[in-house]
Homo-oligomer: A and B are copies of this chain.
């Protein structure tokens, strides 16, 4: 990609109403555009970043043996009435709208109900189980307050995985596999060292659920970590009884602000009961299906990464999710000619700043946009057959021969 091909431009200032650093940087760097409070577009650089995050998650979901599909946004009232979640008093984040043909429909805030109903068409015997299905689909939540840019929005993309098992035992095995898969995902996304599997409230389903909480000042949650055991608890479950059961002493806990980047729930029989999802066991007896649900919000994760890994100069993307790996700058006539050549070898890896602008302006944009490596080719480096490569995260600079750099583009 070349700057001259990209319609977005960077800007020195961000809208006054954005208070979070991630939103400010993502807006200034041209990654996102604000349609209204809590609703954002993903511009070309932002969409590439988001797609890279999605691809990491997809690979790990497929490795679990889960099957991808896409459910609808529009939701039928009857399906949600069956589980008693249609009422605004039970679920206060519904967006609802009316069909011209008559009747009311909702915009999916989550998808347990339609997944459960779908499975009624395909599950009849224990031989059909277990089934693991997931999607990347927009969710709509009518939040009273949207905040922190893309970390808490009214419309956002979510990866939601659902498991359908013959019993709790089969479920628990998969649940732990997903927990491991989530740890791998957050490692690959560059926030593994700051992300804790955290005991949280299980809601109506079971005693605990697991949240994946990333330490982050802009986060909305408070978690407590026992440094010795590595066990973390959401403040909502910080009771003497729980501490005792977990063998943890209150005085060893440290308090942290954190952002929830994933969660996994044991749903048990709640939805199978409500929507009558059964199977015949080996002896031909009807049994309820045991369910679980597992979420990660890729756009929220992108916000958390932008918040945590950025610095005063701008964004800092881990290699696996950066829109481009190299931010290439040519200085002088020969430097620019060579830079253009190198870009053309790998336009998917190289972002070439081909503007007729001062070096300082290009360097500032390189820092703001946050590609992992800034590569400079000048008449001077060329004279030694070299390029200068700076690591965006560490600031470390080294010289590579042209050959060495070209090999990285293959």
Contact = CB atoms under 8 A, between A and B. Distances in A.
A119 B30 CA distance: 12
Given A47-B69, A97-B96, A101-B144, A39 B7 contact: no
Interface stretch (A135-143, A226-234, A311-319, A336-344): A135-143
A72 B99 CA distance: 21
A206 interface: no
Given A39-B72, A41-B69, A100 B6 contact: no
Interface stretch (A73-81, A214-222, A269-277): A73-81
A380 interface: no
A7 B131 contact: yes
Interface in A59-75: 65, 67-75
Contacts of A93: 100
Contact of A121 (B33, B50, B140, B154): B33
Interface in A138-184: 138, 140, 142-146, 154-155
Contacts of A43: 69
Contacts of A128: 7
A123 B128 CA distance: 55
B67 A7 contact: yes
A287 interface: no
A36 interface: yes
Interface string A27-70: 00000010111011111101100100000000000000101111
